[in-house]
Amino acid sequence: MKKFVKISLISIFLLTTFAFCLCASFLTINYLKFQSLPLNAEALASANLSIDIFDRENKPINEETLFESCKIEELQPHTKNAFISIEDKEFYNHNGINKKRMIGAMINNIKAGKLKEGASTISQQLIKNTHLSGEKTLERKLKEVALTKKLEKAFSKDEILESYLNIIFFGNNCYGIENASHYYFNKDAKDLNLNESCTLAGLIKSPTRYSPITNYDNCLKRRNLVLSEMQKDGYISIEEKLEIEKQPINLDINSHSEKLNTYAEAALDEAAKILNIPAKQLAVGGYKLHTYLDEEKQADLKESLFKIDVENADNAGIVIDNQTGGVLAYHGKSNFKLMDIKRQPASCIKPILVYAPALNECAISPDTQILDEKVTIGGYSPNNVNKKYSGYVSVTDAVKNSINIPAIKVLSYIGIDTGKAYAEKMGINFDETDDSYAIALGGMSYGTNLKDLATAYTTFAKGGQFAPSTFIQYIVDGNNKLVYVHKPQNKMVLREDAAYLMTNILEETAKSGTARKLADIKNTEIASKTGTVGKKNSNGNTDAYNISYTPQETIGVWLGNLKNTPLSIAGGNQPTEAVRSYVQKQSYDSITFSVPSSVTNVDIDTLELEENHRLVLANPYAPDRYKKSALFSRFNLPQDISTNFTESPTVDASAVVENNQIVVNLNPHRHLKYEIFKDDVKTQTITEKSQPLTLRFAFKEKECDLKIVASYLINSNQSATKTFQLKRQQQKPKEKWYI
């Protein structure tokens, strides 16, 4: 047994040694191979960089995308030291690689079973942000190490630190400390105080997680961590640390509303995601971005947004080509990067999450009746906007008037998970906590952005097919080599009939619903949905939307207040006015929505609809005024045919004698004619009545026959008769009293 254990241990040792040697050989060979990679020294030393961006006609976009920079000697010592303390304490002592940190990270990666940590020095981060993609692979890491060695030989430590500070990303389109200083604190980087320097140094690990705008508490903790590290490293005293920890982070964000949300900036961000490299690296590499921008449409959109400018409100607009998915125009006014901020979509989510899925599941049709009433479902008790309830309403009326209760009920018909599955296929992402019926009204944990919301509506315009929208048409690198081409990847989400029926409902919304400001548009057919997010216990609103589409393009407009203070805005007002202003200036080749063969018109019985709230086919004998043409999917046609006007009518009535009068109680039907005969003499005719009636007739005779005849207005051959034989009550003789 001992011999076996000994042999096993020796075998394990030899195998481990062999594996280690094999791994070391692999790493060494690949590392040596990457020694030949060139270092772009000119780009690293460049003070100012810009990116060439072109519109759909290959004309340069006249929107500035310049990266500001600063000189290392201009910065305060505490600014440089803040970054060194939190990012790379041994920066001035190592040769580009911190071996101790790298070994520690390697052990943690082995424990995690994946490349989780990189232990990158400032020099390595600079290489990663200027020469390599963001993927976490062993090959990329070896390239990073090889290029870092070359970097350390070619540049001084201060030159490396300067390039690093001019390249790193601080969120909100801020590349480099100069841009970040201007954006967050409205000052040059050389004027940053200790508090501001520590805030920016803490921000770069995760600009979203540690954002002083959207995650202030996280940012404050991170700033304090930087202060602690600086105190440990001897850069500041304990007194300075304690003093700054008491101070808030005072932002001074202004004068960025025009630059931050331009088409060029949005295209730049998208290109960086497509190629998985930092935006600054696009400039370093000389990449050229070719977009879908239509210059005239961009000008029209900006002008339309300008007309609805509301004090203290941010706004944004987008125009998407339905067929290509290309963003034809985009503009926003805000001190914040609107593409990175999610907002509640309000009622604009209803067609995506509720009604289109329900149409596709054959759970409803446009004329399906839903009882609008006070309900509690799944522990959730929603209200309509005005806390009024309309009784039975059609799906079309529920959508066009944006009534809340029917949306909740329809979502319950198909289930929350089914509705979310459809919406996710149309590009709307949900948090795992979005599991209540509140999402039918736009009550999401985080919400969505205007681009994703508008893109989802292109699904209806494209006959049920969805593809993500994009700013980028194609990209070429500094050597004019094509590195990316956008190819629309359409996926069928809805049947054509469901998509068209949704469009037809939203056309009614534009004609006579909440988006009726679009009713006077004559140059194209248009479908529309509005949405408004109200502020509790306030007369104002925080968000207002209009998402509209024509056969050719989809237009989305948003107004809002990111501080959530109430404003005098509503989806049916300013956003809808902006859409109208934009659309009226356009000239479209296709102006009508095509009707698929899977959609048909059939006549339904309006009596059944009004009295019993059922969709049934009208029979051939029904008069025109008792039937209505309605749109249906051929996969969801009514199966029942109305028996009205085919079966013999019935008479629901009673008659009694009271006080020398005949009292008749009649429950009439509006489509029937009632003739009342007293001893074969017609005394009264009743038509177009549907409420219970009480009729009184003089009764002087001792007895008589009362006859009620019910017949159809157009087909008197079918009738029903009810006869009552009535006798006048005998009066009792007066009793005599004797005294």
Nearest CA to 382 out of 364, 366, 403, 360 is that of: 403
Give the residue carrying structure tokens 């619903």: 513
Average pLDDT (723-736) is 72
Task: Determine the Cα–Cα distance for residues 57 and 44; give it in Å rounded to an integer.
Answer: 32
Q: Average pLDDT, whole number, for the chain?
A: 87
Name the pairing type of β-strands 391-394 and 369-372: antiparallel
Give the pLDDT of residue 13: 59
- pLDDT of 38 > 80? The answer is no
Task: Determine the Cα–Cα distance for residues 339 and 327; give it in Å rounded to an integer.
Answer: 14
- pLDDT of 736 > 60? The answer is no
3-class secondary-structure state, position 105: helix
Average pLDDT (99-122) is 57
- pLDDT of 577 > 50? The answer is yes
- pLDDT of 727 > 90? The answer is no
Per-residue pLDDT tens digits for 628-673: 999 999 999 999 998 887 777 889 999 999 888 899 999 998 888 8
Give the pLDDT of residue 26: 47
Give the pLDDT of residue 735: 58
Per-residue pLDDT tens digits for 60-69: 997 766 677 8
Regarding predicted confidence, which is higher, 220 or 622?
A: 220
Domains of the chain, each with CATH number or no CATH: 65-245 (1.10.3810.10), 599-633 (no CATH), 653-727 (2.60.40.10)
Beta-ladder partners of 314: 560
Average pLDDT (1-25) is 58
DSSP string across 412-444: HHH-HHHHHHHHHHTT----TT--SGGGGGT--
Q: Which residues contact 214 (CB under 8 A, 6 or more apart)?
A: 208, 341
Give the residue carrying structure tokens 């007002």: 573
- pLDDT of 571 > 80? The answer is yes
Please say whether the beta carbons of 515 and 529 come within 8 A.
yes
Average pLDDT (453-481) is 96
> How far apart, in Å, are the Cα atoms of 54 and each of 314, 476, 477, 481, 510?
27, 11, 14, 16, 35
- pLDDT of 200 > 80? The answer is yes
Per-residue pLDDT tens digits for 84-95: 999 989 888 888
Give the pLDDT of residue 536: 74
- pLDDT of 496 > 50? The answer is yes
With pLDDT > 90 as the criterion, what percentage of the chain qualifies?
Answer: 61
Regarding predicted confidence, which is higher, 116 or 389?
A: 389
Beta-ladder partners of 654: 665
Token pair recorded at residue 270: 């998208």
Name the pairing type of β-strands 288-291 and 719-727: unpaired
- pLDDT of 110 > 70? The answer is no
Compute the CA torsion angle 15, 18, 24, 30 (nearest 10 deg).
Answer: -110
Give the pLDDT of residue 733: 56
- pLDDT of 730 > 70? The answer is no
- pLDDT of 115 > 70? The answer is no
Beta-ladder partners of 53: 289
- pLDDT of 33 > 50? The answer is no
Please say whether the beta carbons of 645 and 621 come within 8 A.
yes
Please say whether the beta carbons of 251 and 174 come within 8 A.
no
Give the pLDDT of residue 45: 61
Mapping DSSP onto H, E and C, the string for 147-195 reads HHHHHHHHCCHHHHHHHHHCCCECCCCCECHHHHHHHHHCCCHHHCCHH
Token pair recorded at residue 574: 């300013």
Token pair recorded at residue 326: 């290309």
3-class secondary-structure state, position 567: strand
With pLDDT > 70 as the criterion, what percentage of the chain qualifies?
Answer: 86
> Confidence class of residue 48 from pLDDT cuts 50, 70 and 90?
low
pTM for the model stands at 0.80
Per-residue pLDDT tens digits for 430-439: 999 999 999 9
- pLDDT of 296 > 90? The answer is yes
Give the pLDDT of residue 379: 81
Nearest CA to 605 out of 592, 589, 622 is that of: 622
> How far apart, in Å, are the Cα atoms of 690 and each of 647, 685, 693?
19, 14, 9
Give the pLDDT of residue 277: 85
Give the pLDDT of residue 626: 87
Per-residue pLDDT tens digits for 689-717: 888 999 999 888 888 999 999 988 766 67
Per-residue pLDDT tens digits for 260-274: 899 999 999 999 999
